[in-house]
Amino acid sequence: MEAYAATPVRRPSEPSSPSPTPSPSSLRQWRPAAQRNLRNQWSRLLAAKARWLAAATDGRSHASALVNAHLSRSYMPEMDLGVLKDMPGIRDKASAKLAHKELQCREMLLSAYKEMVLSVSDLVKASRGMRCFSKLSSSSPLICFTDCQDDLNDSGDGGGAPVYKWFSMLEFENFAQELVEMFVSELQLKRLIVLELLSINLKEGVDPSLEWSDELYDGEQYEFQSIGLSSGDSWQLPENWRGDVLQARRSGHTPSHEVLQVYLTSWLANVNIKMSRIDEIFELVGEEMQIKLC
Amino acid sequence: MEAVVRKVQQRVRKAREETERWDDLNSRFLSQFSNAAAIIARLPVLGDAKNYGVLGCVPNVREDLLGKQMESLELIFVSMRETLEEFSGIAKGLNKALRNTNQMVRGGSTLTAKQLQLQVGILPTIAYCLDGLQTLSDMHQAEYALKSSVISLLTWKSSSSDIAALRQLLVDQPNIPKDEGMKARELSGSMDPIVVSL
């Protein structure tokens, strides 16, 4: 099916004359272009979801490796090394190795996080590219369809008509929005965990701890801005989050074993991701489009 | 007479094949049990708000996380019950094989008590086969009942020592001694019997 050959931005042109209000004939021309676009965007959503989940799984294993290496290193001075205890410098060497491992895990955790940001960005962009606007090209007598709104009278939704059988453009958008909200809130939660896990190791070094307003990697801010999660230079705390708790954390002790366990479990649980609802949405939409989205 | 013995042996062999799935099921059951135990062991930590560190700034995170974990636990319980159903299927199958074989031997052709004890060549006697089948059926039935009560005792409130004890029961399978398995193999003729030449 062509949905899978997706180039989501470019849309084919349809021959005939333009009409700003959806008359039966203009709707007839709009519909195939809108359907193609929706198929492409939903395939894109599906791919972004899979990419996100894979990155979250990778991130989980890097996060737990990081925590374990860190805990082992902190136990090292008291660890019973048996017959090895008399070897010169054994504790230092082991600690150095663990520190190196932590460094590697941090890098990998960060790149998994980056992958999650990119997937969410893709998800958001696809969710905003559902509408299909007609565009009269001055040089050609053909109607083109595009994803940017040229004519303010054209809202790109075919006047609210069903795009396939039942769902209007708005309903497709609402489903996509529901997905986006889950992934965005989960990304923010994971960002907080990444921030905290990366700070653990810094505490022993000279670097100051990371703050919520810090960029975790180059280009993070740009990516967040492009999907509207951050504006200007300020890095806003998500709505409802309690800034005072975040501030209080800076009193600066390493999280206890239990706290680390809660962090890792929260990561694993994907608290904000309701998998059954996600499957349901893709199933509903796939059924409507008569393609398989799972 | 020899034909009847062979037939009985075939029944026993079939029954034994059924029990081969048992061990696979048990390893699946154990891994489901371990997953459930891991969640149960975490619950007290997750339940305590002071373990949330910086996550305390996220509203409802504790409730959400506990809810998610309970949901996962519930799903594991469901799959454990499904595995238990398969155990039950095997136990029932063995019982049915036993009843059918009994009927075949005692019902249709009326074999005398003497014939049941008759040993044809190196083949085991019919009585011996029936006895073996009975044992096989009894022990799997008992083990199924044990597993069934083990999972009814496993709840989110189970203590770690209870969980360890329950797990040990699943590993040990006290109703299925290892040498009984050997005996079943011998009865079904898949192991070469020792021939003593005169």
Average pLDDT over residues A79-91: 84
Q: What residues 60-89 of chain B have any CB closer than 8 A to a CB of chain A?
A: 61, 64-65, 68-69, 72
Cβ-Cβ contacts under 8 Å, A269 against chain B: 65, 68-69, 72
Percent above pLDDT 70 for chain B:
86
- Rounded Cα gap, residues B80 and B101, in angstroms: 32
Least CA distance to B73: which residue of chain A?
A: A269
pLDDT, chain A, mean: 83
pLDDT of residue A202: 56
Of the candidate ranges A49-63, A278-292, B4-18, B58-72, the one whose mean pLDDT is the lowest: B4-18
User: Which runs of E-coded beta strand occur in A133-264?
Assistant: 133-136, 143-146
Give the model's pLDDT for residue B193: 39
B46 vs A262: CB contact, 8 Å cut-off?
A: yes
- What's the CA gap between A154 and A152, in Å, rounded? 5
pLDDT band at B126 (very low <50, low <70, confident <90, very high): confident
Report which of B1, B5, B16, B4 is spatially closest to residue B125, judged by C-alpha positions. Answer: B5
Average pLDDT over residues B31-58: 94
A94-106 exposure pattern, b = at least 16 Cβ within 10 A, e = fewer? bbeebeebbeebb
Give the count of alpha carbons within 13 A of A69, CB side only: 23
pLDDT over threshold 50, residue A221: yes
- Give CA separation, A204 vs A73, A74, A97, A198, A253, in Å: 12, 11, 16, 12, 10
Query: Tell me, what's the pLDDT at B118?
Result: 73
Higher pLDDT, A294 or A59: A59
More confident residue, A228 or B43: B43
Angle between helices A24-75 and A257-269 (to 10 degrees): 160
Cβ count within 10 A of residue A50: 12
Average pLDDT, chain B: 85
pLDDT digits (tens, 9 = 90+) for A115-157: 999 999 999 999 998 888 877 666 665 666 777 776 667 777 8
For residues A122 and A48, the answer to whether their CB atoms sit within 8 Å is: yes
- Phi, psi at residue A134, to the nearest 5°? -90, 150
Q: How many secondary structure helices (H) and strands (E) does chain B include?
A: 6, 0
Query: Which bin fits A149, alpha (ψ -120 to 50), beta or left (φ > 0)?
Result: beta
* B124-142: average pLDDT: 88
Please provide residue A146's backbone torsions phi and psi, each rounded to the nearest 5 degrees. -145, 170
Q: What separation in angstroms does the CA of B191 have from each of A207, A289, B20, B183?
A: 70, 60, 15, 10
- Which residue ranges make up each domain of chain B? 2-26+77-191
Report the C-alpha gap between A120 and A110 in whole angstroms: 15
Query: Residues of A198-214 as b/e, b for ≥16 C-beta within 10 angstroms?
Result: bbbbeeeeeeeebebee
- Using a pLDDT cut of 90, give the percent of chain B over it: 55
CB contact under 8 A, A255 and B45: no
Give CA–CA dist B97/B17, Å, rounded: 12
CA A240, A269, B40 angle in degrees (round to 5)?
A: 115
Per-domain boundaries in chain A: 24-289
At A15, the pLDDT band (50, 70, 90 cuts) reads: very low
Q: Over A37-91, what HEC string results? A: HHHHHHHHHHHHHHHHHHHHHHHHHHHHHHHHHHHHHHHHHHCCCHHHHHCCCHH
CB contacts, 8 Å: B65 with chain A: 262, 265-266, 269, 271
Model pLDDT, residue A112: 97
| Rg of chain B, C-alpha, whole Å | 24
**Which of A245, A256, A258 comes nearest B57 by C-beta?**
A245
Distance from C-alpha of A239 to C-alpha of A95, rounded to nearest angstrom: 41
Mean pLDDT of B157-169: 93
- Eight-class DSSP state of A144: E
What pTM, to 2 d.p., does this model score?
Answer: 0.79
CA distances from B23 to A146, A220, A257, B84 (A): 61, 51, 37, 13
Instruction: Read off the pLDDT band of B146 (50, 70, 90).
Output: very high
| Segment among A116-125, B7-16, B98-107, B111-120 with least mean pLDDT | B111-120
Chain A residues within 8 A of B51 when measuring between CB atoms: 256, 258-259, 261-262
Alpha carbon of B4: minimum distance to chain A alpha carbons (Å): 55
Contact A192 B64 (CB under 8 A): no
- Name which residue leads in pLDDT, B175 or B110: B175
Question: What is the per-residue pLDDT for A59?
Answer: 97
The 10s digit of each residue's pLDDT in A230-267 is 776 667 788 888 877 777 665 556 788 899 999 999 99
pLDDT for B198 equals: 39
Look at residue B38 and give its three-state secondary structure. helix
**Predicted local distance difference test score (pLDDT) of residue A271:** 93
Which residue would you say has higher pLDDT here, A285 or A242? A285
Cβ neighbours of B48 in A, within 8 Å: 258
| CB < 8 Å to B42, chain A | 261, 265
Q: What pLDDT is stored for residue A200 in this prediction?
A: 81
* Distance separating alpha carbons of residues A25 and A159, to the nearest angstrom: 13
Give the closest of A196, A241, A269 to B69, CB-based. A269
- B57 phi and psi, to 5 degrees? -85, -10
Query: Does residue B67 carry a pLDDT above 80?
Result: yes
Tell how far CA A61 is from the center of its chain.
18
Contacts of B49 in chain A (CB under 8 A): none
The answer to whether A241 contacts B61, with C-beta atoms less than 8 Å apart, is no
